[in-house]
């Protein structure tokens, strides 16, 4: 892991956006939609103030020249765990059930699944998007759930074209 510096986290201007509270910002304006969250590993991340479906979340990332976060190594896993929230990440098995692919088309190489997860194949076939519940064990906090569920999102700015 290199240069992990969650200490550069910028101002938390939204005290109501805490885990366990159901009334996330409903302002509805794009301006209140996210804040710059942190610089880590030389990258810039955005975290949403409010909760949305996986697809809405991804669209909001793309609008910012970003995409839902890909977690490839322990440094990134540790970074995301500094926020005690539920997040959509850029991982789905929509294309082929049981084959978890990141939004950059790479296959997942890390685990970090919660115990018994992903269980979408056993419960029903609708749990096709991955969330991270960073309130749980840092090593085991990934879960598949229905893509229409509402979660916060974390995205990472893509390099300028």
Contact 128, 33 (CB under 8 A): no
Least distance in Å: CB of 20 to Ca ion? 20
Closer Cβ to Ca ion, 34 or 51, answer by number: 51
Closer Cβ to Ca ion, 76 or 93, answer by number: 93
Q: Which of 52, 76, 131, 144 binds Ca ion (CB under 5 A)?
A: 144
Cα–Cα dist 61/86, whole Å:
16
By the rule CB under 5 A, 119 interacts with Ca ion: yes
By the rule CB under 5 A, 131 interacts with Ca ion: no
Maximal C-alpha separation, the chain: 42
Percent helix, strand and coil across the chain, each to the nearest 5: 15, 25, 55
Q: Which of 60, 88, 89, 120 binds Ca ion (CB under 5 A)?
A: 120
Cα–Cα dist 80/134, whole Å:
7
Applying CB under 5 A, which residues contact Ca ion? 93, 117, 119-120, 127-128, 143-144
């Amino acid at each position: 892991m290199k240069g992990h510096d969650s200490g550069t986290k910028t101002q938390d201007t939204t005290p109501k956006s805490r885990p366990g509270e159901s009334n996330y910002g409903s302002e509805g304006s794009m301006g209140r939609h996210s804040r710059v969250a942190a610089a880590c590993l030389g990258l810039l991340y955005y975290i949403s103030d409010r909760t949305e479906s996986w697809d809405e979340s991804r669209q909001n990332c793309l609008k910012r020249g970003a995409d839902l976060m890909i977690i490839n190594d322990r440094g990134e896993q540790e970074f995301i765990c500094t926020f005690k929230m539920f997040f959509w990440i850029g991982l789905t098995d929509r294309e082929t059930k049981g084959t978890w692919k990141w939004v950059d088309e790479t296959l997942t190489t890390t685990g970090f699944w919660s115990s018994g997860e992903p269980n979408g194949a056993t419960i029903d076939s609708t749990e096709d998007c991955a969330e991270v519940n960073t309130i749980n064990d840092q090593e085991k906090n990934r879960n598949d759930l229905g893509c229409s569920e509402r979660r916060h999102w974390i995205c990472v700015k893509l390099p300028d074209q």
